[in-house]
A = this chain, B = another copy of it.
Amino acid sequence: MAYPPALARVVELLSKLPGIGEKTAARLAFFILRSEDGYPIHLSEALARLKSETKHCSVCFALTETDPCKICEDPRRDRSIICVVEEASDLLAVERSHGFRGLYHVLEGSISPLDGRGPEQLRVKELLGRLQSDQVKEVIVATNPSVEGEATAVYLARLIKPLAVRVSRIAHGIPVGGNLEYADQVTLGRAIEGRREL
């Protein structure tokens, strides 16, 4: 005996989510089935609206309900500096750090020849367009410290430097609260390489 079809369908769909295997999907589906406060319907409605009500900013490609987004429109943000990230979720992570008051640019991916993703699939052209204005003095490349993210950073640096705009890369090193003993060799190597005078 298997799950009833309606339940099997929810399990099947949930198990497509990243990090959710079939057992976890079944556990979640049973939880949803047992929940009593209209939760399945609320979740169903929220999912139905998700894509149609979430737009991309036509300037920086952040997720937004208004276009341009609130950050691009905010007069208090520093327009001389743009932080380039791979995904909209990365933008929100940087924003949560409260360490940056400039503008953003979401590439919507990274360069990955193995997956057939070249720079033309990314919002690189749009970034270069934004750099035509005299306002932008620096681009911080905050792509992930992965092979793809590093390749994207190197690619962007080569394109942007000739435009007389400073290009910087976020620092790699030991996470705050982290432990030298448990840090991997590459991170530790980067931490030493990127040392700063006290």
Contact = CB atoms under 8 A, between A and B. Distances in A.
Size range of the chain A interface in the assembly: 35 or more
Given A28-B17, A31-B17, A65-B6, A44 B48 contact: yes
Nearest to A10: B46
Contacts of A26: 89, 92
A53 B3 CA distance: 12
Interface stretch (A35-43, A122-130, A131-139): A35-43
Chain copies in the assembly? 2
Contact of A4 (B48, B53, B89): B53
Interface in A13-41: 13-14, 16-20, 24, 26-33, 39-41
A184 to B, nearest CB: 21
22 contacts: A1-B69, A1-B92, A4-B55, A4-B63, A6-B46, A6-B53, A6-B54, A7-B50, A7-B63, A14-B43, A16-B39, A30-B89, A32-B47, A33-B51, A33-B54, A40-B47, A40-B50, A41-B51, A43-B47, A44-B47, A44-B48, A47-B47
Interface of A: 1-7, 9-10, 13-14, 16-20, 24, 26-33, 39-55, 62-65, 69-71, 87-89, 92, 95
